[in-house]
Structure 1
Amino acid sequence: MLSGFKKFIIKGNVLDLAVAVIMGAAFSAVVDALVKSVLMPFISLIIGQPNFDQFLVFGPVKLGVLLTAVVNFLLVAAAVYFAVVMPMNIFIARRNRKLDIGPKEEAADPQVVLLTEIRDALRQRVE
């Protein structure tokens, strides 16, 4: 039972999905700050004074809010990378070395293979 759970957790797509969810949540703060604190105030300056729920607290453009969201996003990204992704990559590399698993070889393009065979055949004909 635990070995099945271990296999499920170690799969790369589960880890990638978890990282994507965390990064998406952090990035939503950046997008939210951009829309609420930068874009909406510029739009209100062009259109007039629509009800934007006290958007002129410290002026029409709040770039500090966007900067804070960007810094928070970068901090979350660094924390996820150094606390989750990097240790997992080290663990996977050690496991692959232990099991003698090498990097996946890319499949050759069929056109390249065919052209190589034609070239080799032409060389043999000339010689």
Structure 2
Amino acid sequence: MAVNDECKLMFLELKTKRIYRFIIFKIDERIQQVAVEKLGQPEETYDDFTASLPADECRYAVFDFDFVTDENCQKSKIFFISWAPDTSRVRSKMLYASSKDRFKRELDGIQVELQATDPSEMSIDIVKARAL
């Protein structure tokens, strides 16, 4: 599975310049390549992000999550989310599952990984708990 250079470039901009809140990636099965599908603006929320994921298709995503620690420190962590809803095609789920580790290695700076097959598995409470 090839990774479009734009994926790495946009991730680097999210990580270093924080000009995006999230990036959603899609595998183009015709050309066997991962490409950027959507860029979330800095003011967009986690709800905006989850609403951007298709209900019945697999995707990869990164989300820059801001939070405050118990010591009242402002922090952020970059989440890698593998979205594979139960309603997506079996072939698609297999393709995303088999390509995930290689794709994730291309994005240097992932701090937390989350796999979800249902919106409840990536609720804001779960994200907060994993960030701390």
TM-score (norm 2): 0.23
Higher helix share: 1
Higher strand share: 2
TM-score (norm 1): 0.24
Relative CO higher for 1 or 2, CA cutoff 8 Å, sep ≥ 6? 1
User: Computing the radius of gyration over CA atoms, which structure comes out larger, 1 or 2?
Assistant: 1
